[in-house]
Chains A and B, each alone.
Chain A
Amino acid sequence: MAPGRPAQSPHDGGGGNTNRKRKDAPTNPQHNGPNKRPRQHIDQRQKMRIARTLSTQTTSTAFQNGALDVSSFVKSRAYEIQALENGLQRSKKALNERAFQQVPKELRRRTASHNVKRVPKRLRVRAGREMAVDNTPTVTARRRKPSGHMRLRLETVKKLRALGAKRKAEKDKPKDATTTELLPKDVQPGTVTTAIRTRIPKVKKSLLATPPVPKAKFRKRQIHKSWLPTHLYHAKRARMTAPSAPIWRYAVPLTPTAKSYRPTHRASHDRGAVAWDMSYMSTIQLEGRESSVLGMLKAIGVAEEDLSGRKSNKWRAGVRVLDAFLYERESPHELIAPVTMVWCVYDGTATVMEKRKRKMFLRVHPSAFYQLWEEMLRLAKVAKPAVSVEDLRFEIGSIEITGPGATEALLGALWPSSMASTSNDASDAAITGMDVDATSDHPRSESVGETWQKLAGLTNPALLPQNALLGFNVQDPRLHHPPRTIALLKSDAEQHKLLEISASWPVDAAQKACDIFDRKARHSASTSLPSQKAVNRRKGLAAPGEYPQALPKDPRVPVLLYSSSNATPTNSSKSRQSTAHNGSWTLLAPWKCLQPIWYSLMYYPLSTGQQPRFGGLDQKRQLAFEAGKPWFPGDFPGTKAGWNWECEDRRRRESEWRKRPRGKRVSYEKVELGGGKKGEVGVGWACDWERLLNVPPVIEEAALAGIEDIMDVDGPAEKAGDGTTPAEKAVEDNTKPAEQEKAKENILPLQATPKPPQLSQLSARQALALLASPEAKLPPHINLTSALVTVRLTLLTRGVPHPCARIYRLPTNDPDLRRQWLALLPSNLPHKKQKGSKHALPRLPKDASAHVVQQRLAQSLLEPPRAGEDKYPACPAEEDLVGFITTGNYDLGEGQGTGIGSLLVDRVRDGGAESNVYIVRNAGTGLGRLARWEVA
């Protein structure tokens, strides 16, 4: 308060008037008559001043008769405290914060700033007041006057509609006439229509699936790509792939628009759930005699113990899924991709295993789909008896969901169909072949659905048997939308029951052939989904607060759920053991039924608060990285898909690097590698496997010649560089005329495509066997000199590895340098177990006595050299380069930098002692860091 003013508490009308969005035009005070502004207008500065003045008490009011006593002393201080606190509050509120800005970050919408109805209810009144003050009326889209371009479009739509209606009327008219004439008079029209049945098109197998024809409105946008079933949801909330650059021919969400690195980590580890629409994962169906399918799998590299061993009995019975690496059949037996395989439970009567006709799903990443597809086709042709191969890419969609709330959210969305309707349904569809016959024998999904509902309270699917599977039918999720929080376990007895279920796992016995393997069931589920209008009507008829009753005619959506745990196959790492393995659920459902399931999942109110988050490709990679698992294709550069990914990444990194001005980008040619060496090893923005294998970089001869001609303009000085190859030269300089730029653009894709032929990837199993005993038997085709093994690296000191970081082994030819590096090992340091930061000496207490301080001083003199000091050991030479980091970052779970990379297995084997301690150096820096690796 201005000192002279009498004591008064400035009053602020709820903060509403202070926050104005639309500023008033400056008004001329002379012309501002009384009739112009009916409302008294106080400007912002004055508002601020009032908000900031503090009320005070005069001495005469505080102390009666000026007498000093304790109680009035205390009262006067209390008054002061009150006044100051009020002032702090008021001045904070007086800042320009509007109602919609008070909403939590993840709930903020741009529309909320000009539509009161978008603001949460508790803020709506205040927001309305603010809008009224600003004289900005809320306009709804419905009442908005269409303007400009929009008006034109609406007119066109109107015309087209009229045209369509006219045509339809014409089309309908003569038809009615003919049918009535054709029909015999005494027959009801309804019976006749059932007699005429359209021919069911024969399913064409061994053909690539065509994407579903989108609505006319969206057709033009899906010419070169397909949308996921939940595209509209994601397009509003996530950064998608650029329209011109789809990934794997899909428009894939890359990352949510809201900041989500930490929230994703928290949701997946501590509280909440993260879900992905994984419909881009491709599904291939094999159908045929069990023995010939098994034969195919054997040819494609599934291990013998999985095909016939006792351990995988359950997989073959169809109650577990199997994750395996598949290889090409022909030499050089390249790794194709990790594939998930699911058998359909056999419901038939044949007892001899060989004679059973069964179905199987192979789920593979789209980047490796075509490779696997070709391979399967080739194998199916030679298989005897024949196996049919079917592409189910746009028929089966999938959702993956992880985190402690994942099971709960799924339970809220998936309501098993009641079994009463089963018999009806089966008799309805009794015309068709053996699959449906099988249905009528057993009431399906009876106990599987029930078991599923008993899983309430499960926070980690890894508790269930590994790779457990549940196949059942669910109701239309829209009937139960919006979802409500399910009842969770309360008593110990219930908890105990859950444990019992997960131990005995009754699904193994109860699982019948899942409907999702049945084309007809899939089709009928997708086509018979009622319209939203019909669903709404049913919901309206239901009693308030109740869900509508299930009807026997309701569509039954077949789903297949399986859990996968993040446990690494090695299980060797101690640090991994400590962090809980968080399992995840994968849900397969018919493509067209996926969207309603997704919405129910996304709006499920979790018992721990909030709703499940959704993730994009980046979140998928992040969580795989935090689990210490390699992500296909990015972390498998030895596969074809992985190589393509790497090339794409290279191009992206290069263009990013090029975009920056010279002074502000890493100049790779000037990186000091220690020992007088200068210049980055290989290309700085790439995991330069060619350089590692000593393969000359692949560039088409003609294109190279073209570039060379242009390069001559730059003069000979640059040409006689420090031993860089022409290819590097070609991409080194960006200060060139436009034509050269053009030439370079032409050359880039050429440079990227071919993969070095020898490069191959070992699976974790092979690599472990090889590393355990050097003489281990390996398939003869594997070229050891260029086989890669995927590893996980944990830095032992400080630092964070980035993608493209170089991995060196400890120096082999320089014993002195090797000793220096080994001296840095934390286990070799004098002070071993220490609390707090592992990177420095433990902190001394404040009142440490003199001798302790002195001791510390002596200790710090013995400290190994820190990074950046002169004594810090230099990086090993290029002969010790063994691999590259493909994913690296600060790991929120571990609290330190970790990375996933690939090593050349040949250079790794002869390690001796300290064989798992390596040195990691980020591309573009000269500083190495010690790291320990293990097979991932």
Chain B
Amino acid sequence: MVRIKHRYLLINILYPDPKSTSGRPATKPGDEVPYTVQFRRPSPDRMDGGVLTRLIRDGVAELYGDYGSGKVAGSLQVKYFSQATSTAIVRVSRDYYRLVWAALTFATRLPNPVGQSCVIQVVRVSGTIRKSEEEAIRRARLSIRRAEAAAKSSNAATAGLAAATPQLLSTEDDDADMINGIEDPDDPRDIEEDLDDDEG
């Protein structure tokens, strides 16, 4: 018997427009939120796996028509969606995962009940859900480490400098590995750190 083969896409949803998002930076002037934290905002409460499925289905139908939606419909499933971290794992059949990927890449706005502009990154494509889960864990660890490092440096910065400029300074500091706001997924330093963690 031949196994039905799937691909699992690990997805991050980013909300570039700060005004309309649910997670607003804290208004108190003292603790500014570092850029890494701002970059990965939580999804609004109304957003869930069903909405994501609809988004993908509509996107595929728009880009590839009936053919595409027919090919994808049978196997498409959202395996995991976490609102607090805006991370999702989507399952598609192996032959047509590119259609879904394309639909995700071209998506600019979440569908109607949410209705918010967004950017969707596909950060990992894997053959087993296990590997994509492991990757999600790795990325979560990484972002925790970054956020903590950023918070520390920003605190140091606020202590040393005037209150007017810390945000600018801190962004320069902690997001050195961001190029144009997009994180380099395979930054060698991060990977090495991660390997060390695994061994320890």
Interface, chain A (partner B; CB < 8 A): 1-4, 52, 54, 56-63, 66-70, 73-74, 76-81, 83-85, 87-88, 91
Report the nearest A residue to B88, measured CB to CB. A3
Task: Assess A87 versus B140: contact at CB under 8 Å? Given A4-B48, A57-B83.
Answer: no
A230 to B41, CA, bound (A): 72
Interface of B, helix, strand, loop or mixed by DSSP:
mixed
A571 to B127, CA, bound (A): 55
Most A CB atoms within 10 A — which of B83, B133, B148?
B83
- Which A residues lie within 8 Å of B16 (CB)? none
Task: Assess A62 versus B136: contact at CB under 8 Å? Given A3-B49, A68-B33, A70-B37.
Answer: no
Contact across chains for B23 and A2 when beta carbons are under 8 A apart: no
- Which B residues lie within 8 Å of A74 (CB)? 144, 147-148
8 Å CB interface, B131-146 against A: 133-134, 136-137, 140-141, 143-144
Q: Select one of B31, B48, B144 contacting A3, CB under 8 A.
A: B48
Contact across chains for B147 and A63 when beta carbons are under 8 A apart: no
Supply 13 A–B pairs (Cβ within 8 Å), ascending by A.
A3-B78, A3-B81, A56-B80, A61-B84, A62-B84, A67-B24, A68-B25, A70-B148, A74-B144, A80-B87, A80-B137, A84-B136, A84-B140
Contact across chains for B26 and A80 when beta carbons are under 8 A apart: no
8 Å CB interface, B152-200 against A: none
A77 to B141, CA, bound (A): 7
The total of interchain contacts (Cβ-Cβ below 8 angstroms) comes to 111
Task: Assess A3 versus B41: contact at CB under 8 Å? Given A69-B26, A70-B148.
Answer: no
- Which A residues lie within 8 Å of B141 (CB)? 77, 81
Nearest CB of A to B12, in Å = 12
- Which A residues lie within 8 Å of B111 (CB)? none
Contact across chains for A3 and B26 when beta carbons are under 8 A apart: no
Contact across chains for B49 and A4 when beta carbons are under 8 A apart: yes
Task: Assess A56 versus B82: contact at CB under 8 Å? Given A63-B42, A84-B137.
Answer: yes
User: When each residue 31-43 of chain B gets 1 if its CB lies under 8 Å from chain A and 0 otherwise, what string results?
Assistant: 1011001101111
- Which B residues lie within 8 Å of A69 (CB)? 26, 31, 33, 37
Report the nearest A residue to B87, measured CB to CB. A80
- Which B residues lie within 8 Å of A62 (CB)? 42, 83-84
Report the nearest A residue to B85, measured CB to CB. A80
A913 to B141, CA, bound (A): 65
Contact across chains for B50 and A88 when beta carbons are under 8 A apart: no
B110 at interface, CB cutoff 8 A: no
A83 to B79, CA, bound (A): 13
8 Å CB interface, B49-65 against A: 49-50, 52
Q: Select one of B31, B84, B130, B137 contacting A76, CB under 8 A.
A: B84
Nearest CB of A to B135, in Å = 10
A836 to B78, CA, bound (A): 47
- Which B residues lie within 8 Å of A61 (CB)? 84
Task: Assess A81 versus B140: contact at CB under 8 Å? Given A68-B23, A68-B26.
Answer: yes
Task: Assess A70 versus B49: contact at CB under 8 Å? Given A3-B81, A59-B43, A81-B140.
Answer: no
Report the nearest A residue to B83, measured CB to CB. A59
Task: Assess A81 versus B137: contact at CB under 8 Å? Given A66-B22, A70-B34.
Answer: yes
A88 to B129, CA, bound (A): 9
- Which B residues lie within 8 Å of A52 (CB)? 129
Interface, chain B (partner A; CB < 8 A): 22-26, 31, 33-34, 37-38, 40-45, 48-50, 52, 78, 80-85, 87, 129-130, 133-134, 136-137, 140-141, 143-144, 147-148, 150-151
Nearest CB of A to B91, in Å = 12
> Nearest 3 pairs between A and B by C-beta?
A3-B49, A62-B84, A76-B84
Report the nearest B residue to A79, measured CB to CB. B84
A70-B147, A74-B148 given; 17 more Cβ-contact pairs under 8 Å: A2-B49, A3-B48, A3-B50, A4-B50, A57-B82, A57-B83, A59-B83, A61-B84, A63-B22, A67-B25, A68-B26, A68-B37, A69-B31, A70-B150, A73-B37, A73-B147, A74-B147
A677 to B134, CA, bound (A): 58
Report the nearest A residue to B41, measured CB to CB. A68
Contact across chains for B85 and A76 when beta carbons are under 8 A apart: yes
Most B CB atoms within 10 A — which of A60, A61, A68?
A68
A437 to B102, CA, bound (A): 100
Nearest CB of B to A837, in Å = 25
Contact across chains for A59 and B151 when beta carbons are under 8 A apart: no
Most B CB atoms within 10 A — which of A1, A4, A70?
A70
A319 to B81, CA, bound (A): 79
- Which B residues lie within 8 Å of A84 (CB)? 133-134, 136-137, 140
Nearest CB of B to A67, in Å = 5
Contact across chains for B80 and A77 when beta carbons are under 8 A apart: no
Q: Select one of A67, A68, A83, A91 contacting B38, CB under 8 A.
A: A68
Task: Assess A77 versus B134: contact at CB under 8 Å? Given A56-B82, A59-B23, A70-B147.
Answer: no
- Which B residues lie within 8 Å of A67 (CB)? 23-26
- Which B residues lie within 8 Å of A85 (CB)? 137
Contact across chains for A80 and B33 when beta carbons are under 8 A apart: no
Contact across chains for B49 and A77 when beta carbons are under 8 A apart: no
Q: Select one of A2, A70, A80, A91 contacting B82, CB under 8 A.
A: A80
Nearest CB of B to A81, in Å = 5
Nearest CB of A to B124, in Å = 13
Task: Assess A59 versus B22: contact at CB under 8 Å? Given A3-B52, A74-B147.
Answer: yes
- Which B residues lie within 8 Å of A80 (CB)? 82, 84-85, 87, 136-137, 140
A364 to B102, CA, bound (A): 78
Q: Select one of A54, A59, A76 contacting B45, CB under 8 A.
A: A59
Nearest CB of A to B26, in Å = 5
Most B CB atoms within 10 A — which of A56, A59, A74?
A59
Contact across chains for B144 and A88 when beta carbons are under 8 A apart: no
A62 to B43, CA, bound (A): 11
Q: Select one of A1, A79, A91 contacting B80, CB under 8 A.
A: A1
A2 to B91, CA, bound (A): 13
Nearest CB of A to B193, in Å = 16
A2 to B82, CA, bound (A): 11
A77 to B137, CA, bound (A): 9
- Which B residues lie within 8 Å of A88 (CB)? 130, 133-134
A73 to B43, CA, bound (A): 12
Report the nearest B residue to A60, measured CB to CB. B45
Nearest CB of B to A516, in Å = 56
Nearest CB of A to B40, in Å = 8
- Which B residues lie within 8 Å of A1 (CB)? 80
A91 to B131, CA, bound (A): 13
A73 to B143, CA, bound (A): 9
A60 to B44, CA, bound (A): 8
- Which B residues lie within 8 Å of A58 (CB)? 45, 83-84
Contact across chains for A56 and B136 when beta carbons are under 8 A apart: no
A77 to B87, CA, bound (A): 10
Contact across chains for B85 and A66 when beta carbons are under 8 A apart: no
A349 to B108, CA, bound (A): 110
- Which B residues lie within 8 Å of A68 (CB)? 23-26, 33, 37-38, 41-42
Nearest CB of A to B46, in Å = 10
